[in-house]
A and B are shown apart, each in its own frame.
Chain A
Amino acid sequence: MGRMDHITFLVAVVIVTALAFDFTNGFHDTANAMATSIATGALKPKVAVVISGLLNIVGAFLSTEVARTISGGIVDDALVSPGMIFAGLVGAILWNLLTWLVGLPSSSSHALFGGLIGAVWVGAGSDGVHFDKVVEKILVPAVASPLVAGVAALLATYLAYKITARSRRKSVEKGFRFGQIASASLVSLAHGTNDAQKTMGVITLTLISAGALGHDAGPPVWVIASAGLAIGLGTYLGGWRIIRTMGKGLTEIESPQGFAAEAASTTVILTSAHLGFALSTTQVCSGGILGAGLGRRLAEVRWGVAGRMVAAWLITLPAAALVGGVSASVVKHGGDFGTAVVALVGAALAAGIVLVSRRNPVSAHNVNDTHEVTIRTEPPARVGTAA
């Protein structure tokens, strides 16, 4: 790191913010891989998050094909400055924390893209945003992928129950629980190879734009290690509020359904990646869980929770874009001082959200106790309307 003098205040802030986003990404997405395994008792809550965290770190080190673009063409990368990246990350982090507070699974990727779109729009004009790519790379997969995972999980669940209908329930539950360990681990590994990459890409491109790395440079080892650790630590600390919603809130999950949902999610994620579709792990996994809920006859799907979740999906991108845009305008006009103000305000809001969550904490010990995530002290009739 002989070129340390290239690392300005702004670049240092971007790196720290990117790692913070990576952390919220891990902690938001533990639920994708592990929620149903925790709900069915296939894995103890603490064991589940340790496995998931480790596989995320392993996944981060495995991938060599680092994302050369931050956004996959959604914004014009040539116009993106470190200030805009910073503003976009702030939007993404705040949205991730807010949805975590109300226990809603929303896409971290959409939050990141939304934040970047808002920041670039304000920082470089609407020409910097490729709206056709937004439709092609975000909108279409967002509609299609949960549907596909849902239909696959529905059919698979229906058949799994049909095939094992006359067997001893205990043997069947036990068998599928065992299978869930494998399917959940695959989701975690795939997640590590995908999502840690995003943060590495952001940091690497920031370093390149600041002249601290040559063009076409890959990520230095310290970037890979810190991004892997940040996402792994986030995963380990576990977004228990979201785990509760995905494992218990959408529907009551039994182990055959959990296995079917995870098998569907893994297959959709892997086939899409193979064919070059970007998609949200969160949305795929939620779709799979809903499908598995419908596939078992008489299983209760809580459409109210599902509706709030879909509403959060719709708002994620514009909400993160709004925060990203406001932050970008402060950074643009305020320089280093503006950047510091945005960082401080962002940190204060994040701390505030964490404090509010303390009023009604969800942890490894009580994650399976109920299906609702509340943010008030006394148990209210329904989850807050914040989403």
Chain B
Amino acid sequence: MNLDWTALGQVTAVSIGVTVAVVVVFALGVLGLARYEGARYEGARYEGARYEGAKEAGAGDAGGTSALSLAQAGLCFLACAAVVAYGIYLIVPQFH
């Protein structure tokens, strides 16, 4: 019996690394999406407030934030989709 400690170590390192990376990237995507939804919500509230003649300060960059957040979400989810595609590639032997 000879245990392949190197392979075991590799599985451990790769598994933990990939899992944490995928979940962190996905979480950043979710964060972007949540900000985008939040910004739209704030934006709608701001529009309503201006209509009633309220103060304008501090709400000017809502549009910029929202576009940036959406781009962040899109990029992160795309990266995760690529990892899923690689997972399918690994599972299906016909692709090898």
Give residues in A with beta carbon < 8 Å to B. Answer: 59, 62-65, 132-133, 135-136, 140, 144, 148-149, 151-153, 155-157, 159-160, 163-164, 167-168, 171-172, 175-176, 179, 182-183, 186, 189-190, 193, 256, 259-260, 263-264, 266-268, 270-277
Please tell me if the beta carbons of B19 and A263 are within 8 angstroms of each other in the complex.
yes
Complex alpha-carbon distance, A239 and B44, angstroms:
47
Could you name 7 residue pairs across A and B whose Cβ atoms are closer than 8 Å?
Answer: A63-B93, A152-B19, A153-B19, A159-B23, A163-B31, A193-B92, A271-B11
Q: Is the CB of B11 within 8 A of A272?
A: yes
Q: Which A residues touch B34, using CB under 8 A?
A: 164, 167-168, 171-172, 175
Interface residues on B, range: 35 or more
A296 shortest CB reach to chain B, Å = 13
B24 A163 Cβ-Cβ under 8 A: yes
B48 beta carbon closer than 8 Å to chain A: no
Asked if B79 is an interface residue, CB under 8 A from chain A, the answer is: no
**Beta-carbon contact of B24 and A62 below 8 Å:** no
- 10 smallest CB-CB distances across A and B, nearest first, come from A175-B30, A167-B34, A156-B23, A171-B34, A132-B1, A152-B19, A163-B27, A160-B27, A152-B16, A264-B19
CB distance from A144 to the nearest CB of B (A): 6
Task: Tell me the chain B residues, 53-96 only, with Cβ under 8 Å from chain A.
Answer: 80-81, 84, 87-88, 90-94
B1-33: which residues lie under 8 A (CB-CB) from chain A? 1-3, 7-8, 10-12, 14-16, 18-20, 22-24, 26-31, 33
Instruction: Tell me if A179 and B26 are in contact (CB < 8 A).
Output: yes
Contact of B11 among A135, A260, A268 (CB under 8 A): A268
CB distance from B83 to the nearest CB of A (A): 9
Chain B CB within 10 Å, residue with most, of A157, A167, A172, A183: A167
Instruction: Flag if A189 contacts B23 (CB, 8 Å).
Output: no
Given the complex of chains A and B, what is the CA–CA distance between A256 and B2 in angstroms? 39
- Whole-angstrom distance from the CB of A138 to the nearest CB of chain B? 12
**B8→A144 contact, CB < 8 A:** yes
- Are the CB atoms of A64 and B93 closer together than 8 Å? yes
| Cβ contacts under 8 Å, B33 to chain A | 171, 175
Question: Roughly how many angstroms separate A65 CA and B92 CA in the complex, as a whole number?
Answer: 10
Could you tell me if A270 and B91 are in contact, using CB atoms closer than 8 angstroms? yes
A159-B20, A263-B19, A264-B15 known; A136-B1 Cβ under 8 A: yes
B91 touches A268 (CB 8 A): no
